[in-house]
Amino acid sequence: MEISLIRHGKSQLTENDKITGLEFKKWVEKYDYLGVFEESTYPSETLEKVSTAKIIITSELKRAVESARLLNPVTKIISDPLFRETELPFNSSQLFNVKLKPSIWAIVLRILWFSGYSNECESLNQAKFRANKASQLLIDYANEYKSVVLVGHGFFNMLIAKELQKKGWKGTRKRDAKHWNCMTFSLFN
């Protein structure tokens, strides 16, 4: 049995001007709404895993669904909000009137999130609980279909990978969160 975790493609949102924290919240909404760029080539391991999978799972976010369809337009796709990306905390305090590039906002807010700050979003512990539930669902699919692919999101895929390893699944030690990259986990009885 095999479970492969693939990160979605690059977003069509390319705006990178400095913005406030409040504007960043709107930027994230736009990021979630837009699709992904179609690439001229994809990593060979990703293509191999997607072509042999009996089922592809995605979050309900457009970038994940669209990525799965670009990689394999014919395999059955199931979208489930359980697999959505971990959220970022937002705050409308005066500190957040500082202007930063979206990539810097994402880093700052992710560090705050890992430090326990989860204003207006699920906490790290809640995300870990959801990842445990998501990993079990993937295992259930693997029991039925033998080869399963999740086209998901960088941070949540990493949380799922940790849960799979806790449950005895063996996979890549190096976790790569680059767009389109694949981490595969196997269970040998």
- Between CA 1 and CA 8 the distance in angstroms is 23
- Between CA 173 and CA 179 the distance in angstroms is 18
pLDDT tens per residue across span 48-98:
999 999 999 999 999 999 999 999 998 889 999 999 999 999 876 666 678
pLDDT tens per residue across span 125-161:
999 999 999 999 999 999 999 999 999 999 999 999 9
CATH of the domain at 68: 3.40.50.1240
- Between CA 95 and CA 84 the distance in angstroms is 28
Give the count of domains, the chain. 1
pLDDT at 38: 93
**Contact yes or no for 148/3 (Cβ under 8 A):** yes
Mean of pLDDT values over 114-127: 92
pLDDT at 76: 86
Radius of gyration of the chain (CA): 17
Mean of pLDDT values over 166-171: 94
pLDDT at 59: 96
Band of pLDDT at residue 189, cut at 50, 70 and 90: low
Half-sphere CA count of 144, side-chain side, radius 13 A: 9
pLDDT tens per residue across span 94-115:
666 789 999 999 999 999 999 9
pLDDT at 79: 97
pLDDT at 131: 98
Domain enclosing residue 86, as ranges: 2-186
pLDDT at 187 over 90: no
Q: What is the pTM of this model?
A: 0.93
